[in-house]
């Protein structure tokens, strides 16, 4: 039976525990497993290599992405790092020019030192992406919608463009902002999906984690080998927290989106706000692509204030329900200034962020409280 994503969010990868019947996957808080004989085991030998709580999370994530395989990591950056290690010195990567600041930092400050080459291009423009490809391009790295500008790239159009090339590079999509409930990149032609499970998948701002999902068996075996060899694995408690968070993914994402839509509409009519970016708002430059590849617009909004950085600061420091904090995707609403907080690592780079930009992670509180909070904070600007 092919289960729908709402059902997979609750049951994917999970079966009642056989000894006691416990319906929840236990937190197998163990580093090692007693072996019945030398070289024999019951599927687990050491928890860097494998752990039953982690396995349940990996299978659950794979199910959500419509993938054959899932792998869990200790953070989104650990997952990203592992994908890039598929390459070798001299290989070239084409990456979006508006990606998570930490992704840019890892590529630009770490991997360049090892002889990897990167070009950062506007991936919303398939022609620009195609023009950046070289014979030695082995990886195309997309983020959509992007953090923090919410640019949307057409995954299917890019996959089709790449499909026609000899020596086709791998297409990886960071699906953190959309989650598999809104968008499934593998079904649109991507090879690898990467997540920061810290965000919407975990959903409660209580764990840091990452994941990779894929269909190709050889690719899975290579990445699984690296997961064990490198050791950036999540602990069982964090796997449990993410598994538990995922059970309400579909409920949360629908509420995040309806709240965000209301907030985006309110902000776009406000005289102190210059621009509002929300993927499902008609003013979004890739509105049609967003509508085609996403189920809803998600919970993230970016705005630029008329009064620049000063106004942006006043707004972010003036909210009471929206907490001033980095990160996103939890049930609680957050507000931040990317240029001075999450995206400091791209300051003074070509990817630098407008200092008047404010990023909102709209939570699942009552929408009236969120609107009133923004109204009172804008009053102080
Ligand atoms: C947060 C984030 C990451 C990094 O994930 P961590 O869990 O913080 O390591 C990667 N990509 C995107 C889009 C993110 O928002």
Token pair belonging to 325: 């904090």
- Annotated active-site residue 199? The verdict is yes
pLDDT in the model for residue 303: 96
Ligand 1 atom nearest to 208, measured from its CA: 7
Ligand 1 atom nearest to 197, measured from its CA: 7
Cβ(336) to ligand 1 under 6 A? Answer: no
- Annotated active-site residue 174? The verdict is yes
- Per-residue pLDDT tens, the chain, 381 aa: give them: 899 999 999 999 999 999 999 999 999 999 999 999 998 999 999 999 999 999 999 999 999 999 999 999 999 999 999 999 999 999 999 999 999 999 999 999 999 999 999 999 999 999 999 999 999 999 999 999 999 999 999 999 999 999 989 899 999 999 999 999 999 999 999 999 999 999 999 999 999 999 999 999 999 999 999 999 999 999 999 999 999 999 999 999 999 999 999 999 999 999 999 999 999 999 999 999 999 999 999 999 999 999 999 999 999 999 999 999 999 999 999 999 998 888 887 777 767 788 899 999 999 999 999 999 999 999 999
Q: Give me the domains of the chain, ranges plus CATH numbers.
A: 5-246 (3.40.640.10), 249-378 (3.90.1150.10)
Token pair belonging to 207: 């764990």
- Residues in a beta bridge with 71: 212
Pocket perturbation via mutation, ligand 1, pick of 106, 145, 147, 299 by most ligand atoms within 8 A of CB: 147
pLDDT in the model for residue 294: 98
Residue 354 and residue 337: Cα distance in Å, rounded? 9
CB 101 within 8 A of CB 346: yes
pLDDT in the model for residue 277: 97
Strand bridging mode 273-277 / 300-305: antiparallel
Tokens 């957050």 -> residue: 334
Q: How far is CA 125 from CA 96, 120, 128, 138, 157, in A?
A: 10, 12, 5, 19, 10
Ligand 1 atom nearest to 329, measured from its CA: 15
Cβ(234) to ligand 1 under 6 A? Answer: no
- Residues in a beta bridge with 304: 275, 357
Rg for the chain (alpha carbons), in Å?
21
Tokens 């409280």 -> residue: 369
Phi, psi of 346 (to 5 degrees): -105, -5
For ligand 1, atom 7: residue with the closest CA: 76
Cβ(296) to ligand 1 under 6 A? Answer: no
- Annotated active-site residue 100? The verdict is yes
Q: How far is CA 348 from CA 27, 105, 291, 310, 365, in A?
A: 44, 12, 34, 20, 36
Coil, helix or strand at residue 140: strand
Cβ(208) to ligand 1 under 6 A? Answer: yes
Token pair belonging to 369: 């409280």
The residue from 91, 174, 238, 373 that is catalytic is 174
Tokens 């086709």 -> residue: 168
- Annotated active-site residue 247? The verdict is no
Helices 367-379 & 249-268, crossing angle to 10 degrees?
A: 40
Residue 227 and residue 231: Cα distance in Å, rounded? 6
Tokens 């983020």 -> residue: 143
The secondary element (H helix, E strand) that includes residue 141 is strand 137-143
111 upstream amide cis, omega within 30 of 0? no
pLDDT in the model for residue 138: 98
Token pair belonging to 214: 């894929």
Q: How far is CA 180 from CA 148, 158, 380, in A?
A: 19, 19, 38
Q: Could you please report the per-residue DSSP string of 193-256?
A: EEEETTTTTT-SS----EEEEE--HHHHHHHHHHHHHH--PPPHHHHHHHHHHHTTHHHHHHHH
pLDDT in the model for residue 343: 80
Strand bridging mode 210-214 / 192-196: antiparallel
CB 317 within 8 A of CB 323: no
């Amino acid at each position: 039976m092919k289960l729908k994503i709402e059902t997979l969010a609750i049951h994917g990868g999970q079966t009642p525990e056989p000894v006691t019947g416990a319906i929840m996957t236990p937190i197998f808080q163990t580093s090692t497993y007693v072996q019945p004989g030398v070289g024999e085991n019951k599927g687990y030998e050491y928890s860097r290599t494998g752990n039953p709580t982690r396995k349940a999370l990996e299978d659950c994530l794979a199910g959500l992405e419509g993938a054959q395989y899932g792998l869990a990591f200790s953070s989104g950056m650990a997952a990203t790092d592992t994908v890039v290690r598929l390459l070798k010195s001299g290989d070239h990567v084409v990456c979006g020019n508006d990606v998570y600041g930490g992704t840019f930092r890892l590529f630009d400050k770490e991997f360049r030192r090892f002889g990897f080459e990167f070009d950062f291009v506007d991936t919303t423009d398939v022609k620009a992406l195609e023009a950046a490809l070289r014979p030695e391009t082995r990886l195309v790295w997309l983020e959509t919608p992007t953090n923090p500008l919410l640019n949307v790239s057409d995954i299917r159009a890019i996959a089709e463009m790449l499909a026609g090339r000899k020596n086709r590079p791998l297409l990886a999509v960071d699906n953190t902002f959309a989650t598999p409930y809104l968008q499934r990149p593998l079904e649109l032609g991507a090879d690898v999906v990467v997540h920061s499970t810290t965000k919407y998948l975990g959903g409660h701002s209580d764990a840091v984690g990452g994941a990779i999902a894929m269909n190709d068996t050889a690719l899975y075996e290579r990445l699984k080998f690296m997961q064990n060899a490198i050791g950036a694995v999540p602990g069982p408690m964090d796997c449990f927290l993410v598994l538990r968070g995922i059970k309400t993914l579909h409920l949360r994402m629908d509420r995040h989106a309806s709240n965000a839509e209301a907030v985006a509409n309110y902000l776009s009519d406000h005289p102190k706000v210059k621009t509002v970016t929300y993927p499902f708002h008609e003013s979004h430059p890739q509105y049609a692509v967003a509508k085609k590849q996403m189920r809803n617009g998600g919970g993230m909004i970016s705005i630029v204030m008329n009064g620049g950085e000063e106004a942006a600061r006043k707004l972010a420091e003036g909210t009471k329900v929206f907490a001033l904090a980095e990160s996103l995707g939890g049930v609680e609403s957050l507000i931040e200034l990317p240029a001075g907080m999450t995206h400091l690592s791209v300051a003074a780079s070509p990817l630098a962020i407008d200092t008047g930009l404010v990023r909102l992670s709209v939570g699942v509180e009552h929408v009236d409280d969120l609107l009133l909070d923004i109204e009172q904070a804008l009053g102080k600007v």
